[in-house]
Amino acid sequence: MSPAPLLSVSDLRVGFATEEGVVQAVDGISFDLRPGEVVAIVGESGSGKSVTAQTIIGLTRANNARIEGSVKLEGEDLLSASDSDLRRLRGDRIGMIFQDPMTSFNPVYRIGDQIVEAIRAHRETSKSEGKRRVVELFEAVGIPNAERRVDDYPHEFSGGMRQRAMIAMALALEPEVLIADEPTTALDVTIQAQILGLLEQLNRERNLATILITHDLGVVAEVADRVLVMYAGKVVEEGTLDEIFYDPQHPYTWGLLGSLTRIDRPRPHRLPQIAGSPPSLLDLPDGCPFRPRCPHEFSKCPQYPGLEARLPEAADHRDRCWLTPEEKKAKRLVEGQIGLEPPPEVRQA
Amino acid sequence: MSTEPSAERGPWSLALRRFLRNRLAVAFLGLFVLIVLFVLAAPLWADNVAHTGPNEEHTVEQITVDGEKKDVVTPEGKPIGPQWFGADGKFFLGADGRLGRDEMVRLMYGGRTSLQIGITAALIATILAVVLALLAGYFRGWVDGLIARTLDTIWSLPVFLIGLALGIALAVGGLKIGPLELSSGSIWNPILVISIFTVPYIARPIRGQVLALSEKEFVEAAVAQGAGPVRVMFSEILPNLASTIIVFFTLMIANSMLFEAGLSFLGAGVQPPNSSWGTMITVGVELLNIQPLLAILPGLMIMLTVLALNIVGDALRDALDPRGKARMDAALEFEAQGGIATGQQGATA
Amino acid sequence: MTRFIVRRLVAMIGVLFAVSVIVFVVFMVLPKQNPAQTLAGKNATPGLVKNIEEEWGFDDSLPVQYATMMKKVFTGELTSYKPRLPVDDRIIEGIPATLSLAVGAAVIWLFFGLLLGYLSAIRAGGWLDRILTGVSIAGISIPVFLLAPVLLYFLSYKLEIFPNAQYVPFSEDPYEWARHLILPWFTLALLSIGFYSRVLRSNMLDVMNEDYVRTARAKGLSERKVMTRHVLRNSLIPVITLFGLDFGATIAGTAIITEAIFSIDGVGYYAAEAVKKFELPPIMGVALYGAFFVVLLNALVDIAYAYLDPRVRLGESASE
């Protein structure tokens, strides 16, 4: 019934050899991206979400990188693609935008020139033709005074405008997939909403399949179709937007949801936060990686939980928690809302 | 899985361990120590082995080498070469030129002067620079304007030329500003000259750091608690500058030694009867085709000392810097100006 | 842009004024003894000192003294005293030699410095990088007064490949001109090669970690384009400004030691001779001449920097 996946990631593992050992930044993530779909990958820093995104287009290739698994774009394996093949599809078939638009543009070149450069890397186009295209793109992403702005330097744009320009650049060659790596993190809250709105509009109008990377579940609520929650390099829960928001199965997800400030609920007593900090990837505990921060830890947790669908009616809703669905339903409510309490002693792995 | 957070290792001991892991740096630190011991041993050698002082001339004497009598300086003006232990340690490295002085003794005494001047000048310059930087960076406004502008002016001069001019002026006429009086042959003259021109080199980057630090919250907190400017500058900001200061001080010793050697070589630094490695090279260059060692030995000593200090300073910077992109902001600016002390600012080319 | 240039040039004049004041203070005010005595140098006859006193008007107030000094400088009346020769003539005579030395060395050091730095950076961490870094550090650490005598001794005296320096004007004999300058060029260049390669390497490594380089790759640019249009372009900016400053310093005669050891009859050599004889007026002259060039080149460098880095030019008027 659903169309064939555009992008198919299967058991992707990315490790980096460092002086202190191998850091397994990504430990087996799998997902499919269908045309027009928006998949969100959510997690704290160090969870492996950015590494996943960058590995898809080969930006993490390095001498000390160990990349395993498969990433297929319409059947073509990207992990084993040659550098020149990869270069060809970057920007053209997969566009990518990054977190900080200020530093993501070269400060010494005009923004228009940098976008034209992207176009001319893949198409035979004259500079003036390219510039015209840039003006069109600017208008499409909502940058006013497009004709003039094309000749401006990055620091002459405001943060929100810069991110729009980034998006324009990513769309210049009309790719089938857009990867957005924390596109709103560096922006003010009001601008965040605008950019998200833009991404949602582009997804709708152009059927643009999108992978959205973020640490903020609130961002995801606007746009995503499916959500993957990552922790310490592993996917700890995945499902549709509704499943994650209304029936979350993993304590970490509860913590993330609990830490969202919601205007439709009364204000909680304490500032909501997940106690403790993300673990060092060199020193992970046995079994479930979330154990040190989880108040619901019990005897089965030292056994590494697999990513399985534990709800019979939701075959695509998977999680990594040994608690039974009934226990989860009960334990996830803190003062009447979904949340996570700090564990008895806050422990760090 | 550990339940106890690991004991916090102080940043200084961490830095020390990192430094000690750098075997090259440790080796060169050892070399520097050896050189210091070498020059400190000057009186011992002079009294017990060579039985002569650095300025005693032995032009018309003869020494016994393996039973044979040899001229210290031949009638044609050729000085005797290195005897090693042939004459019981006398003229270990030969005689210097037509005056027949013991080169080894001179090398040791000259080194004392060079190191004394280098270290003292670097010390004075560092202290002055830090005070100025603190004042400028903390008070800002007109204080900063005045200090920064003065430093910039000195910085933009052909420092070596003006230093040369000052050096000679002092060498000929001594110094008198108010209560401060220096005779024309004092070694404080070159120290003064070198310090003045080294200050901007240190003060600018540190001022940058102070500017950045004084905006940090812990400074605001201290001020809110009623701390006066002196307390804030010295108890709050200064400790954070410690690593930068240490690295700069080390590199500036090297810089000062090169500056001094340049001044002395030309005659505007150390004045007779004192001598330094720089003055020894002047003599050596004149006699280059007769006895090249006279120029090469002091030059080699300078080079080894400067090299050792540069390597140690470099290693200190690596050791004190947290890894990755979190570099000292000021150090970045310093890097852009060339990083390693080459005496370039003293332009001893 | 023009406003920026004008501002810089005006600032330049301000600095030159400050420099002249500093020179004045250094020579006339600071020394303990009578400034006429300082000017006359060591072992001067009382008669000479008296003459100088009258000529320079040391009885007048300080500002007048300063004015007298500046007048002497600008009207070419500044002379050395033993023998009595005009300073500015000698400086002008020395310029071709100093310029030849500076330009030749600069070409060499820029070429090799940048080449080595680039190679080091793109093969960072590899064996080539380690070797080149070692060479660079050695190059920086060998002071000119070790390198010059060593080269002079081995290549000139012993092996007699190169002449014992002295400057031969280009117009007289281009071949000899070059042959006499090779050792000094190489000496001057070696110090800077190490320096520049380190700077470029360091800049490139920083830039290669920048986000916009990642963006460039994500756009699908070829590695070569990424390296040249983004990495090099941005890494070279500080190098160019550094070069401007160094080159200015070299023309300004700060290659004194090289000129002295190799007997190159340039501005620096003149200064070195004056130092030996404790003659102040020539040094005053050279100091002012040098300061002028350094300040001029500083201003040019600032202007060039503004041209190359739009953030500076537009005065950081970013709406952030």
Nearest CB to A105 within list C212, C309, C317:
C212
> What is the per-residue pLDDT for B178?
66
C73/B contact by beta carbon, under 8 A: no
- Whether residue B250 is predicted with pLDDT greater than 60 in this model: the reply is yes
Q: Residue B172 and residue B185: Cα distance in Å, rounded?
A: 8
What confidence tier does B127 reach under pLDDT thresholds 50, 70, 90?
very high
> What is the per-residue pLDDT for B28?
92
What confidence tier does B276 reach under pLDDT thresholds 50, 70, 90?
very high
Task: Pick from A83, A104, A111, A157 the residue to mutate for testing the C interface (most C CBs within 10 Å).
Answer: A104
Is residue A202 situated within a structural domain?
Answer: yes
Q: Identify whether residues A75 and A127 lie together within a single domain.
A: yes
- Tokens representing A233 are 């390099």
Nearest CB to B162 within list C22, C146, C209:
C22
Q: Which of A234, A223, A171, A307 is nearest to A40 (CA)?
A: A223
Give the H or E element holding residue A229: strand A226-231
Asked if B340 lies within 8 A of C203 by C-beta distance, the reply is no
Q: Identify whether residues A196 and A252 lie together within a single domain.
A: no
Mean pLDDT of B268-281: 88
Task: Pick from C213, C219, C305 the residue to mutate for testing the A interface (most A CBs within 10 Å).
Answer: C219
Is residue C95 classed exposed, middle or buried when 0-12, 13-18 and 19+ CB atoms within 10 A define those classes? Answer: middle
Nearest CB to B161 within list C153, C199, C252:
C252
| Least confident piece of the model among A63-77, A86-100, C188-202 | C188-202
Nearest CB to A91 within list C218, C310, C319:
C218
- Whether residue B121 is predicted with pLDDT greater than 90 in this model: the reply is yes
Q: Please give the single-letter amino acid code of residue A246.
A: Y
C291/B contact by beta carbon, under 8 A: yes
> What is the per-residue pLDDT for B302?
93
**Final residue in a domain of this structure, among A224, A244, A260:** A224
Q: Residue C313 and residue C304: Cα distance in Å, rounded?
A: 10
What's the gap between Cα B64 and its chain centre?
39
Largest CA distance in chain C: 81
What confidence tens digit (pLDDT) does each residue in B138-184 have? 887 888 888 888 887 777 677 777 788 788 877 776 776 666 777 77
Asked if A349 lies within 8 A of B2 by C-beta distance, the reply is yes
B326/A contact by beta carbon, under 8 A: no
CB within 8 Å of A274: residues ≥ 6 apart: A252, A255, A256, A258, A259, A293, A340
Q: Identify whether residues A194 and A49 lie together within a single domain.
A: yes
Residue C296 vs residue B278, higher pLDDT: B278
Asked if residue B313 lies in contact with residue B250, where contact means CB atoms within 8 angstroms, the answer is yes
Residue in this structure with the two tokens 């154990």, named with its chain if needed: A291
Asked if B267 lies within 8 A of C276 by C-beta distance, the reply is yes
Asked if C234 lies within 8 A of A108 by C-beta distance, the reply is yes
- Whether residue A29 is predicted with pLDDT greater than 90 in this model: the reply is yes
What are the angstrom distances between the C-alpha of B67 and each of A293, B63, B64, C210?
86, 9, 6, 72
Q: Coil, strand, or helix at residue A234? A: strand
Query: For residue A176, what are the domain limits?
Result: 7-224
- Whether residue A13 is predicted with pLDDT greater than 90 in this model: the reply is yes
Length of chain C: 320
How many Å lie between the alpha carbon of C156 and the closest alpha carbon of chain B?
10
Q: Residue B256 and residue B195: Cα distance in Å, rounded?
A: 8
Most confident region among A17-21, A175-179, B338-342 by mean pLDDT = A175-179
Q: Residue A211 and residue A178: Cα distance in Å, rounded?
A: 6
Predicted complex ipTM: 0.82
Asked if C214 lies within 8 A of A98 by C-beta distance, the reply is yes
What confidence tier does A227 reach under pLDDT thresholds 50, 70, 90?
very high
Q: Identify whether residues A251 and A281 lie together within a single domain.
A: yes
Residue in this structure with the two tokens 């620079």, named with its chain if needed: B129
> What is the per-residue pLDDT for C92?
83
Asked if A155 lies within 8 A of C234 by C-beta distance, the reply is no
- Neighbouring chains of A at 3+ CB pairs under 8 Å are B, C
Q: Residue A226 and residue A244: Cα distance in Å, rounded?
A: 9
Is residue A11 situated within a structural domain?
Answer: yes
What confidence tens digit (pLDDT) does each residue in B183-213 have? 777 788 889 889 988 898 888 888 888 887 8
What's the gap between Cα C179 and its chain centre?
23
- Dihedral over alpha carbons A224, A226, A227, A228 (to 10 degrees): -140
CB within 8 Å of A136: residues ≥ 6 apart: none
Asked if B1 lies within 8 A of A285 by C-beta distance, the reply is yes
B261/C contact by beta carbon, under 8 A: yes
Asked if residue C38 lies in contact with residue B176, where contact means CB atoms within 8 angstroms, the answer is no
What are the angstrom distances between the C-alpha of A301 and each of A289, A312, B313?
9, 22, 50
Angle B155-C253-B152 (CA atoms, 0-180°, nearest 5)?
Answer: 10
Q: Residue C274 and residue B260: Cα distance in Å, rounded?
A: 18
B6/A contact by beta carbon, under 8 A: no
Domain boundaries, chain B: 111-275+309-348
Q: Note the pTM of the prediction, 2 decimals.
A: 0.75
> What is the per-residue pLDDT for C313?
65
Are β-strands A209-214 and A177-181 bridged in parallel, bridged antiparallel, or unpaired?
parallel
Q: Please give the single-letter amino acid code of residue A100.
A: D
> What is the per-residue pLDDT for B334?
41
pLDDT in tens, chain C (320 residues): 777 778 878 877 877 787 778 777 777 766 666 667 666 666 667 777 777 777 776 667 777 777 777 777 777 666 666 666 777 788 888 888 888 888 888 999 899 999 999 998 888 878 888 888 888 877 777 888 888 888 888 887 766 666 666 666 777 777 777 878 888 888 888 888 888 888 898 889 888 888 999 999 999 898 888 998 899 888 888 888 888 878 877 777 668 888 888 888 888 888 888 888 777 778 778 888 887 887 788 788 878 877 777 776 665 433 33
Cross-strand bridge partners of residue B64: B69
Give the H or E element holding residue A17: strand A7-18
| Least confident piece of the model among A113-117, B76-80, B118-122 | B76-80
Is residue A54 situated within a structural domain?
Answer: yes
A152/C contact by beta carbon, under 8 A: no
B111-275+309-348 CATH choice from 3.40.50.300, 2.60.120.200, 2.70.150.10, 1.10.3720.10: 1.10.3720.10
What confidence tier does B331 reach under pLDDT thresholds 50, 70, 90?
very low
C-beta neighbour count of A243 within 10 angstroms: 20
CATH number of the structural domain spanning residue A175: 3.40.50.300
List b or e across A288-308, with b for residues whose CB sees 16 or more CB atoms inside 10 angstroms.
Answer: bbbbbbbebbeeebeeebeee
**C253: phi then psi, degrees, rounded to nearest 5:** 95, 15
Residue A10 vs residue A280, higher pLDDT: A10
Q: Identify whether residues A212 and A121 lie together within a single domain.
A: yes
Asked if C220 lies within 8 A of A87 by C-beta distance, the reply is yes
> What is the per-residue pLDDT for A67?
93
What confidence tier does A349 reach under pLDDT thresholds 50, 70, 90?
very low
**In chain B, whose CA is at the least distance from the CA of A283?**
B1
What are the angstrom distances between the C-alpha of A145 and each of A151, A156, B312?
11, 13, 55
Q: Kindly list the residues from chain B whose CB atom is less than 8 angstroms away from the CB atom of residue C33.
A: 172-174
Phi-psi region of B174 (alpha: psi -120 to 50; beta: other; left: phi over 0): left
Share of chain A above pLDDT 70, in %: 94
> What is the per-residue pLDDT for C263?
82
Asked if B1 lies within 8 A of A348 by C-beta distance, the reply is no
Average pLDDT, chain B: 79
Residue A342 vs residue A132, higher pLDDT: A132
Nearest CB to A286 within list B1, B3, B5:
B1
Helices B11-21 and B293-320, axial angle in degrees (round to 10): 130
Residue in this structure with the two tokens 């249009």, named with its chain if needed: C229
Cross-strand bridge partners of residue A31: A9
**A254: phi then psi, degrees, rounded to nearest 5:** -60, -45
- Neighbouring chains of B at 3+ CB pairs under 8 Å are A, C
> What is the per-residue pLDDT for C318?
37
Q: Kindly list the residues from chain A whose CB atom is less than 8 angstroms away from the CB atom of residue C220.
A: 87-92, 118, 121-122
Catalogue the long-range contacts made by C204-208 (C-beta closer than 8 Å, 24 or more residues apart): C204/C117, C204/C118, C204/C121, C204/C122, C204/C231, C204/C232, C204/C235, C205/C121, C205/C124, C206/B332, C206/C235, C207/C231, C207/C234, C207/C235, C208/C121
Is residue A83 classed exposed, middle or buried when 0-12, 13-18 and 19+ CB atoms within 10 A define those classes? Answer: exposed
**In chain A, whose CA is at the least distance from the CA of B2?**
A349
What are the angstrom distances between the C-alpha of A109 and each of A112, C308, C310?
8, 10, 8
Domain boundaries, chain C: 16-75, 94-308
Q: Coil, strand, or helix at residue A333? A: strand
Q: Do you find a cis peptide bond into A248, omega within 30 degrees of 0?
A: no
The correct answer on CATH 1.10.357.10 for the domain covering C94-308 is no
List b or e across B304-331, with b for residues whose CB sees 16 or more CB atoms inside 10 angstroms.
Answer: bbbbbbbbbbbbbbbbbbeeeeeebebb
Is residue A253 situated within a structural domain?
Answer: yes
Asked if residue A53 lies in contact with residue A41, where contact means CB atoms within 8 angstroms, the answer is yes
Q: Which of B298, B304, B306, B296 is nearest to B344 (CA)?
A: B306
Asked if C140 lies within 8 A of B310 by C-beta distance, the reply is yes
> What is the per-residue pLDDT for B286?
84
Nearest CB to B349 within list C257, C275, C284:
C257
What confidence tier does A271 reach under pLDDT thresholds 50, 70, 90?
low
Q: What is the DSSP string of A64-106?
A: TEEEEEEEEETTEESTT--HHHHHHHBTTTEEEE-S-HHHHS-
> What is the per-residue pLDDT for B344?
36
- Whether residue B5 is predicted with pLDDT greater than 60 in this model: the reply is no
Q: Identify whether residues A124 and A262 lie together within a single domain.
A: no
> What is the per-residue pLDDT for C59?
67
Q: Identify whether residues A198 and A241 lie together within a single domain.
A: no
- Whether residue B349 is predicted with pLDDT greater than 50 in this model: the reply is no
Q: What is the 3-state secondary structure (H, E, C) of B23-69?
A: HHHHHHHHHHHHHHHHHHCHHHHHHHHHCCCCCCCCCCCEEEECCEE
Nearest CB to B3 within list A283, A286, A347:
A347
**C83: phi then psi, degrees, rounded to nearest 5:** -85, 175
C-beta neighbour count of C124 within 10 angstroms: 15
DSSP C29: I
Q: Kindly list the residues from chain B whose CB atom is less than 8 angstroms away from the CB atom of residue A345.
A: 3
- Whether residue B83 is predicted with pLDDT greater than 90 in this model: the reply is no
